[in-house]
Amino acid sequence: MGKIIFWLVVFFVVLLMLRLVNVASSRSRSRSTGKRKTVEAAMTRCVDCGIYLPSADATTSARGPLCGDPQCVARRSDT
């Protein structure tokens, strides 16, 4: 009888450990997806050529964010 209780305890300890590993891995997974979301939020779109670029690289104008692409700058000065 004592042997059965011992194996039951071992079984539940193993289940508990598997659960802890699952929680830890899912927590790190959600952290990485959160990171990806902030990267997407940091992207902006040039109002002239419509290219997507990091908002840190974009220059803001009265019309909206602008890229530093030479072709786009040339097009901008033409009009």
Give the interface with Zn ion as residue ranges (CB under 5 A). 46, 48-49, 67, 72
Residues sharing a CB contact under 8 Å with residue 47, sequence separation 6 or more, in sequence order: 61, 63, 64, 65, 66
Closer residue to Zn ion in complex, CB, 12/52: 52
Closer residue to Zn ion in complex, CB, 29/54: 54
Q: Which helix (H) or strand (E) holds 60?
A: strand 59-60
Contact between residue 39 and residue 58 where contact means Cβ atoms under 8 Å apart:
no
Supply the minimum distance, in Å, between the C-beta of residue 62 and Zn ion: 15
Supply the minimum distance, in Å, between the C-beta of residue 39 and Zn ion: 20
Contact between residue 47 and residue 64 where contact means Cβ atoms under 8 Å apart:
yes
Supply the minimum distance, in Å, between the C-beta of residue 45 and Zn ion: 9
Closer residue to Zn ion in complex, CB, 2/50: 50
